[in-house]
Structure 1
């Protein structure tokens, strides 16, 4: 079977798709991971015969990481809509054309729900598709949509929050989607709500989250599979610099905010370093503008699976992939959420006992971060809870369960 897997976004979004693709390729299928060109080496290093790469010229991480993109993300709801139309829409037709070309010969497409790419490709080419969720996005009465930063709205309110987010997505994307369908895919306007249509058609959903982190809601239908995280079989070796730094002293604290860029990166770096020193910890700082010191190492892109098990704690933005990597490593986590589903993951970490209460990036101070880091590395209960959870997550095989769910 020829399978196309669409991986939009950062490394945290792409690496699980690569792991899933490698698992399917290991079962004898021909798999193409369609992702930003910068992740070609990530796909090639995954290794099994049958795993290919479909590079995209449109790079979502480059958009988000630019000065214009960061101003857009910080602009609030009205500014976000305006920015979406000025930043994202001009690239949409090119992106859709690249995705269409990469998936045209596939027998099955695995795609995220946003933009309903799986539905459009299925309608155009006739192949079945399945949905990929990196946070629990199927409606439930148990908790609100992870994009709604509230712990609960009550049973009916929780379920309604999913309809609200999906309707908002339709308002934001509807005009763009129909233009792309007509100009690029040769299709008529979208009829009806693609989310409701997928549920009515019982399109399989693979949710790449562990049931040890988010329990499966009892009101989810059978075609929604909570598989566990999707990890590569092998962690990448550490680069010489981080390896030497780790060997030279006690375990440090990792601090990195993924594709999120603080409003004042230099000031944030100074705050982080002062907080780590106050807590008595060395630090590994990822993509933060700090000149470095004997007790602080600054690094660029790195494989969290190889790095996190060797640190005392991880401090990050709360992206779904980074959160999963920290929990799987069995080390305490401090989440400093920016927006989106990040507050949801910060709350989950705290409720699991694997870290302190989240510290929103807008409230980051030396005192607040130092207190949370000290709690993470010194509190015995937190360290034990994180270690036990890590053992359970490392025992899972989410890739196998996902492939089994699809009958691959």
Structure 2
């Protein structure tokens, strides 16, 4: 089957779908990943075909609006910056999605290009499937993750999002124009999303473990929790001699990284994390990420991109931003963690990690200081219960087969 996966965003938004694509290809499917040019090497390096989608997430996050969005976190104050970035993101997306869909027999659609892909699939007669990295269907069990980790009661959790689905948006005119261009009745973004959520025949598969978020009983049919998708370590990959020597030179270090978050704050954050490691009396591997963290010394090593599935199990604890993809890597590694959520869905995942008992507690990015981080690191490393629970959970997560549900849906579509 000719499968096109569409996704855009940070590395954490793309890597899980590259991993899924690798496994679908191994099962006999012909797989293309459509994403932004900045992730082309990630796709082709895994042996998958690449097609371009517009935009540059790294540049967007480094922009003034990106900085405002990050600083506002998961609050209503983030909405104006989100809307401006969203308008920029929409430029050319519809036509790029149409081009990427050419020749496909099924479209697997991640969050950002999902609505354009859903419409393109209708116009072209191509089946589509939604792929989500966080819970996307309303439930009484908890609010949608972009509203944070605080419950609003069962009625509030289930209905908090509804005003957004019925309110006019700055994107409606763009979507109506796209609908007309492809021969569909013109509808705005809220109507499209309501249709997707209500259609029990439209599959929505969630790429995270049911051990961290079980499938809510009030979800509609077709909305499933599949398990994690992750990119396998390339067989030719080897750690640098510098990293190998550092790991061999002493006890397991603590990993500290913020992934694609906090772009432009590298100097300030580097000082905080180095001082925290010194106060906690631990060695540290610091991942530069988009923030540009950098430090050097006998007990500190700065690294670039390293496969998390190789690095994380070798660490004593993991300080990370609790993005969806990184959260999955933390769980698979079986290592205690200190989540430092910045924005988006990160507070949701950070709260889940704490409730699972593998973290001494959430340290919000806005309250990040060297003493506070040092105290959390001491707890994560020094109190054995966190690591013991993480190891048990890691064994269970690694035994899951997250691709199996996707393969079953593809088989059902091929048979239908």
- Fold match (TM-score > 0.5): yes
- TM-superposition CA deviations, 1:240-299 (whole Å, max 9, x none): 332222122211111111111167431221111111111111111112443411211112
Q: Is the 8 A contact 1:262 1:268 kept in 2?
A: no
The answer as to 2:232 corresponding to 1:252 is no
Q: Equivalent residue for 1:11? A: 11
Q: How does 1:1-80 map to 2 (within 5 A)?
A: 1-47=1-47, 51-66=48-63, 69-74=66-71, 80=78
After alignment, is 62-71 or 10-19 more displaced? 62-71
Q: Is the 8 A contact 1:58 1:91 kept in 2?
A: yes
Structure 1: runs of 5+ lacking an equivalent: none
Q: Indicate the SS of the match to 2:9.
A: coil
TM-score (norm 2): 0.89
Partner of 1:403: 407
For residues 43 and 116 of structure 1, what CA distance do their matches in structure 2 show? 22
The verdict on how the C-alpha distance between 1:80 and 1:358 changes in structure 2, with shifts beyond 3 A counting, is: closer
**Offset at 1:376?**
0.6
TM-score, structure 1 normalization: 0.91
Indicate conservation of the 8 Å contact 2:327/2:349, yes or no: yes
CA distance 1:312–1:348, shift in 2 (3 Å): same
1:289-368 superposed matches below 5 A: 289-368=293-372
1:36-89 deviation digits (Å, cap 9, x = unpaired): 223223223324xxx311133522233213455323443587774544555442
Give, in whole Å, the separation in 2 of the partners of 1:390 and 1:97. Answer: 42
1:372 to 365, 369, 376: 376
Q: CA deviation at 1:17?
A: 0.6
- Distance in 2 (CA, whole Å) between partners of 1:179 and 1:275 is 52
Once structures 1 and 2 are overlaid, which stretch shifts more, 389-398 or 231-240?
231-240
Q: Which residue matches 1:226? A: 225
Which has the higher mean CA deviation after the structures are superposed, 285-294 or 302-311?
285-294
